[in-house]
């Protein structure tokens, strides 16, 4: 392999493939990434056996070929080469990758392409064409509610439920739930899959880097009935591939309250600031914030062994006095991601889940279990 490439172009590719995959692995080859030069492009591939990233960058290819090299060491070398000099990459029969830029020369020991894990082919089945910005927004408004505990593997992913009526993304950790929905996706088949949070974080990060135009689309291919069952995301010159999580996601519709015995609306800015202050004063034995409704006032309180906190927010409420307690982090996560000026809180009582909705937007719903005081 022999190619000429700019530093900026190579760093762009390294940025896209270098994160997301696990940094801990028992297989040394997975610390490497694959470079393959062909047809005036450099193909860059990284995998950890659960997900893979493939990215193409333009290059002047003098000799076709492929090699895998350690991603960490290679990235550090490229970052420290001169900005104004073209980079030449050459491989030899001993699997050494020679790196030259100006008067600077490095060589790195690599391994042949044959030793790198094979990457599943992209199956163009059950394809969806989505607005990447809208998809990123749906992910951002739900993913924080997914579980991070390895023992709750099913909840380490987000449910994608595509029906004839609507497309929904749902996340839950057992104590809270987030749901984002949009109208039915034209021409797509119905499916219900669980997508790992890891791949969704990577796709969302990539969308931010790519800065897609208004009319851009991201192609999503779902193959839940094949081996391996997988999902792929394709946009521009980049492809993400991930296995799906197998199992039964909880019946989320059962936990979304339908009764609204007690409700109030509040400005997000006011409640977010007050709840953040309350979290500073919550007990070290368990964070709790208490909301008390009476006489058009929402009183926010918290306490610990050494501190007490009290704040008041005006709201429209004239019903009987009502008190409820929550983990402040659960409330804060919703308020900082919901993206509207006002939210509504709806209760059946103080021990059943609360429904939080954006005022004027019924596409996002949040359910949080209260803490019994």
Q: What is the CATH number of the domain that holds 59?
A: 3.10.150.10
- Predicted pLDDT at 120: 87
For residues 263 and 243, membership in a common domain is answered with no
For residues 111 and 149, membership in a common domain is answered with no
Percent of the chain exceeding pLDDT 70 equals 95
For residues 131 and 106, membership in a common domain is answered with no
* pLDDT category of residue 226 using cuts at 50, 70 and 90: low
Q: Which residue has the higher pLDDT, 56 or 287?
A: 56
CB count within 10 Å of CB 307 equals: 11
- Predicted pLDDT at 91: 97
* pLDDT category of residue 127 using cuts at 50, 70 and 90: confident
CB count within 10 Å of CB 40 equals: 11
Of 215, 238, 253, the position where a domain reaches its end is 253
State the number of CA atoms in the 13 A half-sphere of 210 facing the CB. 23
For residues 141 and 249, membership in a common domain is answered with yes
Q: Which residue has the higher pLDDT, 363 or 26?
A: 363
Domain assignment present for 175? yes
* pLDDT category of residue 67 using cuts at 50, 70 and 90: very high
- Can you state the angle between helices 7-17 and 197-210, rounded to 10 degrees? 150
φ, ψ dihedrals at 39, nearest 5°: 55, 50
Of 115, 144, 163, the position where a domain reaches its end is 115
Rounded to the nearest integer, the mean pLDDT of the chain is 92
| Of the candidate ranges 3-12, 167-176, 223-232, 242-251, the one whose mean pLDDT is the lowest | 223-232
For residues 8 and 95, membership in a common domain is answered with yes
Domain assignment present for 185? yes
Assess contact for 163 and 169: CB atoms under 8 A. no
* pLDDT category of residue 22 using cuts at 50, 70 and 90: low
Is residue 281's pLDDT more than 90?
no
For residues 159 and 275, membership in a common domain is answered with no
- Predicted pLDDT at 224: 66
If phi > 0 it is left, if psi is from -120 to 50 it is alpha, else beta; for residue 126 that is left
For residues 279 and 244, membership in a common domain is answered with no
Domain count, the chain: 3
For residues 277 and 353, membership in a common domain is answered with yes
Q: Which residue has the higher pLDDT, 27 or 53?
A: 53
* pLDDT category of residue 36 using cuts at 50, 70 and 90: very high
Domain assignment present for 122? no
Domain assignment present for 121? no
210 membership: H or E segment, kind and range = helix 197-210
For residues 156 and 77, membership in a common domain is answered with no
Domain assignment present for 120? no
Torsion of CA 214, 357, 169, 236, to 10 degrees: 20
* pLDDT category of residue 228 using cuts at 50, 70 and 90: low
33 membership: H or E segment, kind and range = strand 32-38
For residues 212 and 274, membership in a common domain is answered with no
pLDDT in tens, 343-367: 999 999 999 999 999 998 889 999 9
Of 253, 274, 289, the position where a domain reaches its end is 253
Domain assignment present for 362? yes
- Predicted pLDDT at 152: 86
Alpha helices in 110-161 (DSSP H): 132-140
Is residue 373's pLDDT more than 80?
no
Is residue 294's pLDDT more than 70?
yes
Q: Which residues contact 47 (CB under 8 A, 6 or more apart)?
A: 21, 30, 53, 117, 119
Domain assignment present for 195? yes
3-state secondary structure of 296: coil
For residues 244 and 260, membership in a common domain is answered with no
* pLDDT category of residue 285 using cuts at 50, 70 and 90: low
- Predicted pLDDT at 99: 98
Print the domain residue range for 242: 127-253
For residues 143 and 227, membership in a common domain is answered with yes
Domain assignment present for 373? no
* pLDDT category of residue 81 using cuts at 50, 70 and 90: very high
């Amino acid at each position: 392999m022999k190619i000429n490439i700019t530093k900026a172009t190579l760093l762009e590719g390294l940025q896209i493939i270098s994160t997301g995959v696990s940094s801990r692995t028992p297989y040394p080859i997975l610390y490497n990434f694959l470079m393959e030069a062909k047809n005036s492009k450099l193909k860059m591939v990284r995998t950890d056996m659960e997900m893979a990233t493939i990215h193409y960058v333009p290059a002047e290819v003098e000799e076709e070929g492929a090699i895998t090299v350690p991603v960490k060491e290679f990235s550090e070398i490229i970052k420290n080469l001169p900005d104004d000099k073209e980079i030449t990459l050459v491989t030899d029969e001993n699997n050494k990758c020679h790196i030259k830029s100006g008067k600077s020369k490095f060589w790195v020991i690599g391994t042949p392409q044959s030793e790198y894990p094979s990457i599943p082919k992209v199956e163009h089945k059950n394809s969806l064409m989505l607005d990447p910005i809208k998809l990123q927004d749906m992910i951002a408004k739900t993913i924080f509610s997914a579980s991070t505990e390895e023992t709750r593997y099913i909840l380490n992913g987000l449910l994608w439920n595509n029906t004839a009526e609507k497309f929904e993304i749902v996340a839950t950790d057992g104590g809270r739930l987030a749901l984002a929905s949009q109208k039915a996706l034209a021409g797509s088949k119905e499916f219900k899959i669980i997508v790992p949070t890891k791949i969704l974080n990577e796709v969302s990060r990539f969308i931010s880097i790519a800065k897609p135009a208004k009319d851009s689309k991201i192609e999503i291919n779902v193959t839940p009935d094949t081996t391996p069952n997988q999902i792929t995301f394709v946009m521009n010159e980049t492809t993400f591939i991930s296995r799906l999580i197998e199992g039964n996601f909880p019946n989320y519709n059962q936990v979304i309250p339908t009764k609204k015995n007690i409700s109030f609306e509040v400005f997000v800015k006011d409640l977010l600031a007050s709840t953040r202050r309350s979290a500073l004063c919550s007990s070290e034995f368990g964070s709790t914030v208490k909301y008390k409704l009476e006489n058009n006032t929402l009183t926010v309180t918290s306490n610990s062994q050494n501190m007490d906190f009290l704040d008041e927010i005006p709201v429209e409420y004239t019903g009987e006095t009502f008190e409820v307690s929550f983990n402040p982090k659960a409330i804060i996560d919703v308020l900082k991601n919901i993206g509207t000026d006002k939210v509504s809180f709806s209760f059946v009582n103080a021990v059943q889940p609360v429904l939080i909705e954006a005022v004027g937007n019924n596409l996002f719903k949040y359910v949080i279990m209260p803490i019994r005081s």
